[in-house]
Homo-oligomer: A and B are copies of this chain.
Amino acid sequence: MHSHTEENYLKALFLLSQENGKVTVLSLSRHLNNKMPSVNSMMKKLAEKKLVKYKSYQPLELTEKGKKEAALILRKHRLTEMYLVEKMGFGWENVHEIAEQVEHIQSKAFFDKMDEILGFPKFDPHGSPIPDKNGIIEWYNYTHLNDCISGENVVLMAVTHTSDEFLKYLNKVNLNLGTQIKILEREDFDQSMKLILNSGTEITLSAAASRNLLVKKQNSRQK
Contacts and interface: CB of A to CB of B under 8 A. Distances in A.
Contacts of A87: 87
Interface in A111-128: 113-114, 117
Contact of A101 (B84, B89, B107): B107
A contact face: mostly helix, strand, loop, or mixed: helix
A106 interface: yes
Nearest to A83: B88
A120 to B, nearest CB: 15
B94 A101 contact: no
Contacts of A88: 113-114, 117
A1 interface: no
Interface residues of A, number: 19
A105 B102 contact: yes
Given A88-B117, A117-B88, A94 B106 contact: no
A165 interface: no
Contacts of A102: 102, 105
A89 B107 contact: no
A90 interface: yes
A98 interface: yes
A19 interface: no
Contact of A90 (B84, B98, B113): B113
Contacts of A84: 110
A131 to B, nearest CB: 21
Sorted from nearest, which 9 A-B pairs have the closest CB atoms? A101-B105, A98-B107, A88-B113, A98-B110, A102-B105, A88-B117, A89-B113, A94-B109, A101-B106
8 contacts: A84-B110, A88-B113, A89-B113, A90-B113, A98-B109, A98-B110, A101-B104, A102-B105
Given A101-B105, A102-B102, A102-B105, 9 more contacts: A88-B113, A88-B114, A89-B117, A90-B113, A94-B109, A98-B105, A98-B107, A98-B109, A101-B104
